[in-house]
Chains A and B, each alone.
Chain A
């Protein structure tokens, strides 16, 4: 991928292009759509999000209209920036099926990212990557179904060391990895437990380490950094440590303008 600037809107917080109403597309390298799954998902019951001093916690539950609805309305998902499609599933079979369904449309997208943080429903809800054999089968089959697509595996730090998982992705000839997805967390609000995925500033040292360790092992794979990027300095650090591009998620909630600021900076435009 050749992105200018090397700045990507992360899957989820950015929805399906809504932020283009607030951000000048010139400063966005690519926009990742919200993860689409084989079947439609209503998402989790509220509360779905809270923010604390250093993090955001969310349990959206992958609300999305499903791949068939997505394809029927594919025109609506064509944005005026390079677009990355994000796909997910509940089981191995779903990942493979969704790859087959999207195959005729793959050329519409700059790349396709597979969200591997989804729980494997058949295996008691553990992350899909925790069963290595099944996961390798997904990587192998998807590669075969989509031979010419720039394939990105989005990994979380749970279930395995990311550098080990990344090596498995590389072994199956996927072009890229996104490091990292949200980390499971919990807050207590008025005595009630709220669980969800943690994002925001608290993730930054964790994602920096994930990228650092992965880059040591893999010289050529395209790495997209995700987790706690809010400023030009954050972007610099991730690129120095070995990321090829940075992605921005939760910072959109603070100020959509951070994208323009970081994008301008990365394009070398005077601040």
Chain B
């Protein structure tokens, strides 16, 4: 684990409020995340992926902290890699995500056999190599028409996750939990989830969980 400065490479605008930020120097495995320092008091977690062959995160601007990550010219401090490596089951997968997980989706397609569906609330301003839907209606239509896959990974807002979960049936559903985190390393216990197997911590037991465990 490292606590060091990241060198930003590119910032790509994806839609109205979401950006892909690529970096020079991050070593990590699929499913892991990074805690990035902002002007706020607590670092913010971002799931890691790749874009244009560089380590990358996708940031939705929600406040001053996330805006800082996108806009600053300075090198940013962060600690990483955090969380567990994700290994999907065999067979073909379907990754259903919001734009904030696009770099993760991109990395999975490089390592595993899977399709991707991106649901964006606002029109995409940048061409992506994945199937996408704009707005809730188009997204719902596309989810309902999905064929059967061997495994699914879902990551987005709670509402989106719940909708998708109501439409698909499988024993191999994974969800990436995006909750508030204090430390990212298992120390502070702020990221607890109450699961069938007791209290788990997103930062050390996740961030990707089997749906049937939750």
A residues apposed to B, CB below 8 Å: 12-16, 18-19, 21-22, 34, 42-43, 45-56, 58, 60, 63, 200-201, 250, 252-257
Contacts and interface: CB of A to CB of B under 8 A. Distances in A.
A14 B185 CA distance: 10
A201 B182 contact: no
Interface of B: 1, 3, 37, 40-43, 77, 79, 179-180, 182-183, 185-194, 198-199
A250 B42 CA distance: 8
Contacts of A45: 194
Contact of B192 (A12, A46, A50): A46
Contact of B183 (A18, A43, A201, A257): A18
Contact of A58 (B79, B190, B199): B190
Contact of B41 (A16, A22, A63, A201): A201
Residue picked from B79, B180, B183, B186, most chain A C-beta under 10 Å: B183
A60 B50 CA distance: 34
A253 B182 contact: yes
B214 to A, nearest CB: 13
B180 A50 contact: yes
Contacts of A13: 182-183, 187-188
Contacts of B41: 51-56, 200-201, 250, 253-254
Q: Is chain B's interface secondary structure helix, strand, loop, or mixed overall?
A: loop
Given A13-B188, A22-B79, A51-B40, 8 more contacts: A18-B183, A18-B187, A19-B183, A21-B1, A49-B180, A56-B182, A58-B182, A250-B41
Q: Is chain A's interface secondary structure helix, strand, loop, or mixed overall?
A: loop
B183 A255 contact: no
Nearest to B3: A22
17 contacts: A15-B189, A16-B187, A22-B79, A34-B187, A42-B199, A45-B194, A46-B179, A48-B189, A48-B192, A51-B40, A52-B41, A58-B182, A63-B189, A201-B41, A254-B40, A255-B77, A256-B79
B175 to A, nearest CB: 15
A49 B194 contact: no
Residue picked from B188, B192, B193, most chain A C-beta under 10 Å: B188
Given A200-B41, A253-B42, A256-B3, A18 B185 contact: yes
Given A48-B192, A200-B41, A21 B185 contact: yes
Residue picked from A50, A51, A52, A53, most chain B C-beta under 10 Å: A51
Given A47-B180, A253-B43, A19 B187 contact: yes
Given A22-B3, A254-B42, A15 B187 contact: yes
A23 to B, nearest CB: 8
Nearest to B186: A18
A177 to B, nearest CB: 24
Contacts of A250: 41-42
